[in-house]
Structure 1
Amino acid sequence: MEGIMKISQFITRLFPLWVVLFSLLAFFFPDPLKPMAKLIPYGLGIIMLGMGLSMKVDDFKLVLSRPKDVFWGIVLRYMIMPFVGYGVATMLGLPPALAAGLILVGCCPSGTASNVMTFLAKGDTALSVTVSSFNTVLAPILTPFMFLYLAGSIIPINTEALLMDIVKIVLVPVALGIGLRTLASDFVDKIMGVVPVVSVVMIVAVIATVIALSAAKLATVAVIAFGAVALHNAIGLGLGYGAAKTVGMGEKKSRAIAFEIGMENSGLAVALAIAHLDPVAAIPGAIFSVWHNLTGSLLAGFWGSKEPRS
């Protein structure tokens, strides 16, 4: 078991390397991966099941003792990133498919890596976990609504189908994971060591498949798509931190909210884009999956070296 844990940690630690390596392979040799497109929702479902297994009922109890903090974490999350995505897409004049993909990334809930980054940054980890949990549970309602509002004039959107897919891909697996964690905690504790590596494998497979599906067009949009994602992420992190300070949060809470806003569940954006939009619309989500982990790690390292005063 110790050997398996070491292998799992090795694979997980080098996540960005695997993404880059397999993305390059997918770009130059796309055909073998194209048939995997129909499996993307199932891969993301496995990732969300892993997230559910890491969540506990206690993760939602913080709202009872700190409702104001949780409220602002949720409101700021769904008010900042969707509108930043729309603003960046408009400012850069992105083609409709890329613009819709960037907005969709912003409309998705917080990424699970935000909890890890908050911990490394000496932020309020309990707040981060609670806000992530609530944002994920609320996604079936808020993500389609925000996406329709901001992108409905850019591309046709079947909001009902989008909602149902989020329920199937996110809500059901997360609820199942929480249920298993509650009812069979001893078993879940035994397998938690390998859950992260399964998630890494699934994310890498999803991103590689998106690259394969978009290989023909990627060369023409890669630079502008990367620039849009970098702006979206940087503005989100900055506004998240600043907005948290503005509503009266201390340093530790503000660090947590910065990551909750700047780090997305970009895998969900990829799955929804593949299912409902042009494959090119999945490119921003695929790039975001790598980029926000890089910037998040750098920011967490910087903050982690500075003891928060509040």
Structure 2
Amino acid sequence: MNLVNQISTLANKYFSVISILFAIAAFSWPEQFVWLGSYITTLLMIVMFGVGMTLKPVDFKMVLTNPKPVVVGVLAQFTIMPLLALGIAILLNLPPELAAGIILVGCVPGGTSSNVMVYLAKGNTALSIAMTSLSTMLAPILTPTLLYFLAGQWMPVDPMGMFVSILKVIILPIALGFVIQKIIPNIVEKGGALLPLISVIAIALVCAAVVSGNRDNIASSGMIIFVSVLLHNILGLFIGYLVGILMKLDTETRRAISIEVGIQNAGLGVSLAKTHFAASPLTALPGAVAVTLHVINGSILASYWSRKEIDKKESSVGKDIKITG
């Protein structure tokens, strides 16, 4: 079990490197990975099932006991990221498929890897978990609604169909994982060390699946996709932190909101694009690029903040919470 723990820890630490290697391999030898395209939704469901197995009622406690930073953070996420994506799509005059794709990335909830990044950044981990959980629960309503209003000018959007997809891909696996955790807690606890490793591999495979299936499209329009996703991500991280300053929140809380706002569940964006925009494969590319770039940028920022001292007089809620998945 110690070996499994060590491997999982290494996988989490080098998540961005693993994702990049899978993407490079998929681009270089697409025929070896293209078959994964049929399993993108399944892979994401496995990740969400793992999240459910680690989720606890206490993760939602902050929503009731200290709602201000949670509400501020979630509102920032579902306003800043969609509107930034819309602005970038217009500013860069993106083709309809890429415009819808970057807006889709902006409308999905927070990514599961953000909790680990906030912990490493010496941020408010309890807030990070609460924000990820709440934004995920709100996603079936907010993601299709926002996408309909913001991306409908470029691509036809089916809000009800997307609502059902998010319930299937996100909510049901999380709920199932949560129930199993309650039924057989001892077995789940013993196997918990595997969850981070499984999540890393699953997300890396999602990235490889999309890259291999769209190799030619990436080769012809890769730079504009890269610039769009990079700009969207960096601005989200910066403005998220700025929101914390404007709301006069402590440093740890600002760090948590910054990372939660900037790091999206891009894997969900890929799955929704593959399901609802199958006739336009380019729509999935911003999500595939975001899967890797979000992890890289978030990890760099977390590493930088981990070396910066925090005023001891400020609150450090959640700083000592251990992240297990």
TM-score class, shorter-chain normalisation, is: over 0.9
**Cross-structure match for 1:246:** 246
Residues 10 and 249 from structure 1, CA distance in 2 versus in 1: closer, same or farther, beyond 3 angstroms? closer
Structure 1 position 117, deviation (Å): 1.3
1:280 to 276, 279, 282: 282
Structure 1 position 48, deviation (Å): 0.7
**Cross-structure match for 2:291:** 289
Alignment partners' CA distance in 2, 1:7 and 1:145? 40
- Any idea what SS the aligned residue of 2:156 has? coil
Structure 1 position 184, deviation (Å): 2.5
Amino acid at match of 2:138: L
Alignment partners' CA distance in 2, 1:226 and 1:27? 15
TM-score (norm 2): 0.92
Alignment partners' CA distance in 1, 2:139 and 2:156? 20
Which portions of structure 1, spanning 4 or more consecutive aligned residues, are displaced by more than 4 angstroms? none
| CA deviation profile, 1:7-50 (whole Å, cap 9, x unmatched) | 33333433223322222222233234333322111110001111
Report 1:136-147 matches (<5 A).
Answer: 136-147=136-147
Alignment partners' CA distance in 2, 1:218 and 1:291? 15
| CA deviation profile, 1:188-245 (whole Å, cap 9, x unmatched) | 1111101111111111111111011111211111111101111000100011010122
**Cross-structure match for 2:30:** 30
**Cross-structure match for 2:213:** 213
Structure 1 position 74, deviation (Å): 1.4
Q: Is the 8 A contact 1:110 1:265 kept in 2?
A: yes
Alignment partners' CA distance in 2, 1:298 and 1:6? 22
Alignment partners' CA distance in 2, 1:123 and 1:8? 22
**Cross-structure match for 2:46:** 46
Amino acid at match of 1:308: I
Q: Is the 8 A contact 1:122 1:307 kept in 2?
A: no
Amino acid at match of 2:304: F
- Any idea what SS the aligned residue of 1:208 has? helix
Structure 1 position 6, deviation (Å): 2.5
| CA deviation profile, 1:81-110 (whole Å, cap 9, x unmatched) | 011011111111111111111100010000
Q: Give the total of aligned pairs.
A: 310
**Cross-structure match for 2:100:** 100
> Which has the higher mean CA deviation after the structures are superposed, 8-17 or 253-262?
8-17
- Any idea what SS the aligned residue of 1:249 has? coil
Alignment partners' CA distance in 2, 1:233 and 1:112? 16
> Which has the higher mean CA deviation after the structures are superposed, 102-111 or 300-309?
300-309
Q: What is the RMSD of the two structures over their aligned residues, measured on CA atoms? A: 1.4
Q: Percent identity?
A: 39
**Cross-structure match for 1:10:** 10
Structure 1 position 53, deviation (Å): 1.4
Amino acid at match of 2:108: C
**Cross-structure match for 2:317:** none
